[in-house]
Amino acid sequence: MLPYKSLIQLKRDSSVALYVQLCNSFISLITNGTLRPSDILPSTRLLSELTGLNRNTIKLAYEELISQGWAESVERKGIFVLSKLPVVSEKGKTDPEKTADSFGEAFLWTNPFKEILPEENYQQSILTIDDGFPDVRLTPVDLLMREYRSISKKFYGKNFLKYGFPKGSENLRRTLSDYLSNTRGLSVNPENLLITKGSQMGIYLATQLLLTQSDHIAVGVSNYRSADEIFRYVGANLLRIPVDEYGMDIDFLEGVLKKKSVKAVYIIPHHHFPTTVTMSMERRLKLLKLAKEHRFAIIEDDYDFDFHYNAKPYIPLASIDHNRNVIYIGSITKTFAPALRIGFMIAQPEFVRAASSLRQLIDKQGDSLLEEAFSSLFENGEMERHFRKSLKIYRSRRDLFCEILKSNFNGVIDFKIPEGGMAVWSVFDPSISLPKLSMDAGKKGLKIADGSFYNNEIFIPNGLRLGFASLNENEIEKSLELLRTVI
């Protein structure tokens, strides 16, 4: 007989009933080959002695095994493992002719992600110079949750627990349309707008509809790596266009267009990623002219429009696009709290409908209650108040951050004071190894990136985006002093 006393492990303080635990233990013994078809199970009396369980508990476990099709009762003989079950290889026994490597994968699949994007967890409580994120301590999350609870308690709020539009909350699309019209000059209606889970989803959906294998898309020499990976995923060819202090070089793009057919241009005109430069109005207008002439789409990624410090920001290309070439993508939560995933895509109604159909294939809809709560914050003015308050604080933090960089890192870090956004693009002296810097800083309690996220096949700047917005004044001074010490 098998050593059931050691094979069956029960947790008497568990919330799972003992008979269910016992039943599951026998199932495990069957599936791992320890028990085979037609093997007899111990009597209730014997098993009770071995496990200390009440016989009625064991009877319930056996009844459950039988009802699930794992065992059968034979009159006057006992309970047996079901004879019709297929034979499972015995645990620990393998073919001696085969090595571990010869078994290979359990099934065939395609892995297009051989080079996995860096995975970062910023939820740990450690001093961090991040990529340029908002300070979640400033986020009026209590107001958001108050609206969330208030809506859920109202009789009509229960409807938001049902399936809704894949385009997103009607109220949020309406309030967002008004907000974008007032702040960015965007003349849009709710049918032009799709609510997404962040700008990343918007880029993905637009790419799936625009690009196919071997299509050309123009992107910056320096560019948002996650967007590059999305374009590569569909098999598109990336045409690198230089980026200088005035943004993407549209004259260079014009030369490329004379030689190759381009399906789309991906651009971050407001605060280019990673360098934070702003595209000049002259280049914006020329890009729109070229889009009309060559009939390509412009994917305008405007992830942090709301944070501009020196003057009123340029209005988006989408606001001056009269030929409907621009697909405008933005984020609410990039400037609110990154974990609350809400972004938007604006395009022609037909394109938005197709994007929402595609979205349904991977994600039926967003969080309706959360979207309704955000809609309330826009309607009662709390979002604008939050942006105004944050803008003032972030400007002060930017000034302090850049002042310390200038005085303590002169000759080590080359940077320009950004006009907006939440990070300073910082190019380090070539003698400094950023991977080593990141590792050494971590040992001293400072989390900082290693720079690899900003590199691509032709752009290796030895630079980092140093985020200042999420740090208060004391944290800025402490983190930069640690960075100086490590260097």
Over residues 70-89, the pLDDT tens digits come to 999 999 899 999 999 998 76
Tell me, yes or no, if the two domains 127-135+385-486 and 163-383 fold the same way.
no
User: 388 - beta bridge partners?
Assistant: none
CA 371 to chain centre: 18
Judge whether residue 398 has pLDDT over 70. Answer: yes
pLDDT number for residue 457: 93
* Residue recorded with tokens 């880029």: 203
Was domain 4-81 assigned CATH 1.10.10.10? yes
Helices (runs of H) and strands (runs of E) counted in the chain: 16, 16
Tell me what the mean pLDDT of segment 344-352 comes to.
96
Judge whether residue 162 has pLDDT over 80. Answer: no
Specify the CATH class of 127-135+385-486 in words. alpha beta
Closest to 423 measured CA to CA, from 397, 384, 451: 397
Contacts of the segment 1-10: beta carbons below 8 A, 24+ positions apart: 1/42, 2/29, 2/34, 2/35, 4/42, 4/47, 4/50, 4/51, 5/50, 5/51, 7/34, 8/50, 8/51, 10/51, 10/53
Could you tell me the CA-to-CA distances from 461 to 118, 452, 465 in Å, in that order?
18, 10, 11
d(CA 267, CA 275): 13
Tell whether pTM > 0.75. yes
When pLDDT is cut at 50, 70 and 90, the band that residue 366 belongs to is confident
Beta carbons within 10 angstroms of residue 112's beta carbon? 10
Which of 219-223, 269-273, 371-375 comes out lowest in average pLDDT? Answer: 371-375
pLDDT number for residue 116: 66
Based on its alpha-carbon atoms, the radius of gyration of the chain, rounded to whole angstroms, reads 30
pLDDT number for residue 41: 95
**Amino acid (one-letter) located at 188:** V
pLDDT number for residue 368: 82
Q: Specify the pairing of strand 216-220 against strand 264-267.
A: parallel
Domain extents in the chain = 4-81, 127-135+385-486, 163-383
Was domain 163-383 assigned CATH 3.40.640.10? yes
Judge whether residue 99 has pLDDT over 60. Answer: no
Judge whether residue 392 has pLDDT over 80. Answer: yes
